[in-house]
Chain A
Amino acid sequence: MAARVEACTPCHGNQGEGTSDVYFPRLAGKPAGYLYNQLLAFENGRRKYPPMNYLLEYLGDPYLQEMADYFASQHPPLPAPVPSDVSQDVLRHGEALVTRGDASRQIPACASCHGPTLTGMEPAIPGLLGLRPNYVSAQLGAWRYGTRTAKAPDCMQIVAGHLTEADVTAVAAFLATRPAPENAAPVPKGTYILPFFCGSQPN
């Protein structure tokens, strides 16, 4: 399978660990259901990034599932957290949003869905560790502006719609400072109850 997905490696790394390009995400160890949803979204054009749309356009869905399974089963170590170039105030704001949310602005804590250790939950909620701030900011921005969407109810679009630009910067910066937990694998399905219904993670 490694040879079959070699086309993915210049941008995502040999084992899906990511590369020096800060906009290309780590794939390794993310739940297979999440990766499959993204591959389908790139294949049918729901998620728009021409180099990905082009590569996947004529591959069958069972093959995409195999690719998702492959990267989900890779476990290269998470990168060491990088020192952040934002202020302590910003980091504290990010920590508050990630761990507690802001009920007054209807922002749930990231951890309430992505898990207390932020490693995600099977089958389709991705972990948030090992991603560079630029990537997280770009994705949250894309959710806010509606250029990235998912199956309705599109929970990430709803949540991101409540975030300001300053929130996005703070969340992205704080996430990148998190050290790897001992067990970086996504927790099994149903380990905790989601705060609301999400189209891409059927209960």
Chain B
Amino acid sequence: MRSAWLTLLLFLASTGTVAQAQDNRTVVVTRGEYLARAGDCIACHTAPDGQIFTGGRAMPTPFGTLYTSNITPDPETGIGRWSPDDFYKTMHSGRFPDGGLIYPAMPFGSYTKVTRADSDAIFAYLRSIPPVNQKNRPHDLRFPYGNRSLILGWRTLFFSEGEYKSDPSKSAEWNRGSYLVEGLGHCGMCHSPINALGGTPQSEAFKGGLIPMQNWYAPSLTSNREAGLGDWSIKDITDLLQTGVSARGVVYGPMAEVVHNSLQYLNDEDTKAMAVYLKSIAESGTRVPSSSALPTTESSLLTSLGKTVYDARCASCHGAQGEGKPPHWPPLANNQSIEMESAVNPIRMVLNGGYPPGTEGNPRPYGMPPFAGLLSDNEVAAVVTYIRTTWGNRGTPVSAREANELRSAPLN
């Protein structure tokens, strides 16, 4: 009898441990899925009509087209034979398990900041998804960029390996935000200028830049003249990141993808941490008017035609004074993305229109109509000039040529 009790007790104890181990595993996998979303892995590693994480998405770059890889746990074509060490090496050092160099289109320059525990969790999650046997497509790079040893040069110039180091002078919340923005979020991949060598010097981090091949301008996150969030409230920032719309502005274009696939899934604490960090990196300083390259007579003609176009086409939603009807119809007056030096985004919005992403917080977004077919180059230039220079906005006029050039910008 006594031994029977003992057996039962032992049995209970052992099932308890197994159950607990399974629980821990589920917790890690769930956490890994969350972190994979924070890293927006899906944006590149899933083709538009492909199965999740099977790669094969074409990534056009100035050096040729890269095709993303299969990161499902298929042993033959995916990462099924990788160890957590192998995975950490790709994230942290930008090297394949055999030591081969990874093209820096994979944002290992940011992912290097990710902790070992977070890397292991993402790996555990990727191991938990269905394996799909799908061979990676070879890259299609122009001579001489197919030579991977060139990556060594890039790494010397632009890559500094190392996990995120907390700044003890800042709050835990700020450090969490900084870790997410600079690490998994890899915001700097778009929001930093990229030079002719395809890299960003450290001093230029988050200073904004035209996204190569996409022809959208990713505004500076440090300048209040661009997307610097120094004078935004924390609520407006978290609204924008979580729902895609806010009282100050709305996300479109490539940022709609980021909110749709990644940021909307972050919990309130992490979103707020990112907001606190983003607000803090905006450099203080007054906004100075930029000088225009267009002759004054041409500018004033544009502005007067612009008002006619604006009143007829835009005012019903954006208001006679550019006040908008936030959050769905963004204000144009005192809107940094309208005034900033690059006029690419406002011109493209007029030409292409667009919907903010459908998100849990804003599942039925309102869209901006595309005016490419309704307005001439002159009218586009005029209306963009008008909204950039009226109601206290201090942007510069744009020319019909600039408008015309963006008609052929790639859409997706």
Question: Which A residues contact B (CB, under 8 angstroms)?
Answer: 3-11, 21, 44-46, 50-51, 53-60, 62-63, 66
Contact = CB atoms under 8 A, between A and B. Distances in A.
A interface SS class: helix
Contacts of B365: 4, 59, 63
A118 B125 CA distance: 52
A20 B125 CA distance: 52
Nearest to A5: B367
B367 A7 contact: yes
A54 B49 contact: no
Given A55-B355, A60-B363, A62-B363, 19 more contacts: A3-B366, A7-B353, A7-B368, A8-B367, A9-B369, A11-B370, A11-B373, A46-B49, A50-B411, A51-B370, A53-B411, A54-B411, A55-B353, A55-B354, A57-B257, A58-B257, A59-B355, A59-B365, A60-B358
5 tightest A-B CB contacts, nearest first? A7-B367, A58-B357, A50-B411, A54-B411, A58-B260
Contacts of B256: 57-58
A6 B358 CA distance: 16
A76 B256 CA distance: 34
Interface residues of B, number: 29
Q: Which of A44, A50, A55, A58 has the most CB of B within 10 A?
A: A58
A57 to B, nearest CB: 6
Contacts of A57: 256-257, 412
A44 B49 contact: yes
8 contacts: A4-B365, A6-B369, A7-B354, A7-B369, A11-B370, A55-B367, A58-B356, A60-B363
A46 B374 CA distance: 27
Interface in B344-361: 352-358
Nearest to B251: A58
Contacts of B317: 6
B153 interface: no
A80 B257 CA distance: 42
